Structure 1
Amino acid sequence: MTLRPDLAIIASHVNRGARILDVGCGDGALMAALRDQHGCDARGLELDPVNVAAAVGQGLSVIQGDADTDLADYPDDSFDYAILSQTLQTTRRPDWVLEQLLRIGRHAFVSFPNFAHWRVRASLLFGGRMPVTRLLPIAWYATPNIHHVTVDDFRALVKERGIAIEGAWFLSGDQQTGSGMANLLAEHAVFLLRHDR
C-alpha cells in the first residue's frame, strides 16, 4: 500500500522502534507502515468508528476518541512521537491540541493543508467562493475543516509558544517543493516539532 505523500514524509523520518501515538489515525495506514517497516510500537486515537474498526481489523491498537478532549488523559512523555496528520484544522482548539501533542510526545509531526496556496487565493479572488480542490474536496458547508490555517499562521503559532521546528517539508501536488514562498506555493505542509521544556 502506498502512503499519502505527507504520511510518507513522516514515516521516512521516524526512528526505528519508536513509540508512536497517531492522533486522528484514520484507517491506520501510517500506523501499519510504521509497525511493519520500522518496528514501531504504534497506537492510535480516531474519532470515526468506521475507521477505528478498519484499523483494529488490521491488528492495530486504536481506540475511539476525540483529540479535543481525550489527549489530556495521556501521561507526559509517554511517546517518542505524537502525530497529527490532516487533523489540526478540524479541531476546536488547535493551540491546545498542539500543546498536548508536545506534552505527550517528545516530538510531534503535524501536517495540514495550506489555505494560503495560490489556487485557494485565486478561487476566492476571481470566483468569490471557497475552493474545492483535490486536497480540499468538500464544499464549505460540509467540510470538517473549522480553522483555515496557513504555513505562516502555523509558523507564528509555534514561535509564539516557544516550540522548536526541527524539520519542515512542503508539498505541491504529490511532489516536495522548496521552503521558499511555501505559504504561496505549497498545498500541504509537514512540520516536525519539539517543545523546549
Structure 2
Amino acid sequence: MSLRPDLAIIADHVEPGARVLDIGCGDGALMAALRDARQVDARGIEIDAGNVAAAMARGLSVVQGDADIDLAGYPDAGFDYAILSQTLQTSRAPERVLEQLLRIGRHVFVSFPNFAHWRVRLSLLFGGRMPVTRSLPEAWYDTPNIHHLTIDDFRAFLRDRAIVREREWFLSGERRTGATAANLLAAHAIFLIRRA
C-alpha cells in the first residue's frame, strides 16, 4: 500500500510499538501501515461515516468523532503520538485542537497545506482568484479549508506558545524540499512538536 507523501514521512518517524491516536484518520491507511510495519497500537477518530466504515473493515479501532469537540475525553499523555494530518486547516478551533493534542500525546505530528506556496501566490497575484491547485483542489465555495495558514504562521504560533519543534519536513509535490524558503517553495509541511 502506498501512502500519501506526508503520511509516509509520519510513518517513517513513529517508534515501533508506540501508542498512536490518529485524528482525522480518513480510511485508516496510515493506521494500517503503522500497525503492519511497526506493530503500533493505533486508534483513530474520523468525522466521515464512510471513512470510519472503511477503516473498521481494515480491522482498525476507529470511532466517528469531531476533533473540535471529541478530544476532551482522552487522558493526559495517553498516547506516545497524536497525529493530525491535513486536518488542522479544517477545524473550527485549531488552537484548542492543538492544545488537546499536546495534552493527549507526548509527541504530535501536524501536517497541512501551505497557503503561501508560490503557485498560490501567483494565482492570487495574476488571476485575482482563490487558487485551485493539485494540493488545494477545491474551489473556494466547496473547500473544507476554513483556516488558511502558512509555514511561517505555524512557526510563529509555536514560538509564541513555547511549543517545541522537534522536526519539520517540507514537500513540493511528492518530493522533499529544504527548510530554506520553505514558506515560498513547499506546498505541504509536516511538523513534529511537543510541549516544552
Paired residue total: 196
Match in the other structure for 1:10: 10
Match in the other structure for 2:166: 166
Q: Secondary structure at the match of 2:70?
A: helix
Match in the other structure for 1:111: 111
The code of the aligned residue for 1:149 comes to L
Structure 1 gaps, min length 5: none
Match in the other structure for 2:53: 53
Q: Secondary structure at the match of 2:72?
A: helix
Q: Secondary structure at the match of 1:72?
A: coil
Shift of the alpha carbon at 1:110? 0.1
Shift of the alpha carbon at 1:70? 0.4
Correspondence list, 1:22-41, <5 A: 22-41=22-41
Shift of the alpha carbon at 1:161? 1.1
Shift of the alpha carbon at 1:162? 1.1
Correspondence list, 1:80-159, <5 A: 80-159=80-159
**Runs of 4+ off more than 6 Å:** none
Q: Secondary structure at the match of 1:157?
A: helix
State the distance in 2 between where 1:186 and 1:100 align. Answer: 27
Match in the other structure for 2:63: 63
Match in the other structure for 1:176: 176
The code of the aligned residue for 1:44 comes to G
Q: Secondary structure at the match of 2:45?
A: strand
TM-align CA RMSD: 0.4
Identity %: 73
State the distance in 1 between where 2:91 and 2:117 align. Answer: 21
- 1:95-153 per-residue CA deviation (whole Å, 9 max, x = no partner) reads 11111101000000000000000000000000000000111101010100000010000
The code of the aligned residue for 2:115 comes to F
State the distance in 2 between where 1:15 and 1:154 align. Answer: 25
Instruction: Say whether residues 1:186 and 2:191 are aligned partners.
Output: no
State the distance in 2 between where 1:54 and 1:159 align. Answer: 38
State the distance in 1 between where 2:96 and 2:125 align. Answer: 32
The code of the aligned residue for 1:16 comes to P
- 1:26-63 per-residue CA deviation (whole Å, 9 max, x = no partner) reads 00000000000000000000000000000000000000
